[in-house]
Amino acid sequence: MTRWPAAVLDDPSGVLLGLDFDGTLSPIVDDPTQAYVHPRSVAALDRLGPRLGLVAIVTGRPVDQVLELGGFQQHTGLSGLVVCGQYGVERWDAATGEVVRPERSAAVAQLVEELPAWLDEHGAQHVRIEDKGLAVALHTRGIDPDLLQRLDAPLRDWAHRLGLALEPGRQVMELRSPGSDKGDAMRHLVERTGARTVVYAGDDLGDLPAFDAVDAFRAEGLAGLLACSVSPEQDALVPRSDVVLQGPDDVADWLTELADALEA
């Protein structure tokens, strides 16, 4: 029995499939540089690429990291893949191989310069700093599960003074320039493709704007499907989801089910 609705199975060329990266296509690991995409998900997407209207990865990660950890360029079935990185402010199209990205803002540059001293002042010198170029992520996985809660208020105050947005996640907080989120990225992709069915799968709070966008498309008459890759750390997407998946292994099964159904 498939977990895919008739709107997807009967009209695959009208489908926009949007997928989060971490926790959805790849496992959550202590070292984010080792979060490689599930191989069965890549294999399924390789089969789905020629059959769906568009496959897009919509993520908070920089495009370059996504390409390195996904190996998508090696798959001919993904010649039309689009990667919307850093919440949509970066973009890579497989068709051209070009990356479009803005310059780092002065506020993010100031944050990077001052962050080590700030963390030391707040007793958080062991936090792992990930400089994404256009944003900075603070990782506490494997360090102290309560640390992010203690840092939340002072980080929000500092972000406000710098004019930056603060994005909470699973044992991570990210500070970035405001102005784009995953919902904006999905709206742009729908405008670009004229999709008749919009599917999105994610796992964390940063995916909520994409969920909101899909719900808005449904209110406008498009077909839509929302899926969450659930974990013990975060279940906020579960009440909003049409399909609940048990982590990246189940996401890989779900994508494979669709590829099998469309090839039958």
Catalytic residue numbers, as ranges: 20
* DSSP code of residue 76: G
CA–CA dist 239, 246 (Å, integer): 14
Write the burial class of residue 198 (CB in 10 Å: 0-12 exposed, 13-18 middle, 19+ buried).
Answer: buried
Q: Which of 136, 166, 162, 135 is nearest to 152 (CA)?
A: 166
Sheet with 98-100, side-by-side order of all strands: 98-100, 90-93, 82-85, 54-58, 15-19, 197-202, 223-229, 243-245
Q: Which of 224, 167, 171 is nearest to 198 (CA)?
A: 224
CA–CA dist 199, 190 (Å, integer): 11
- Greatest extent of the chain over all pairs of C-alpha atoms, in Å: 60
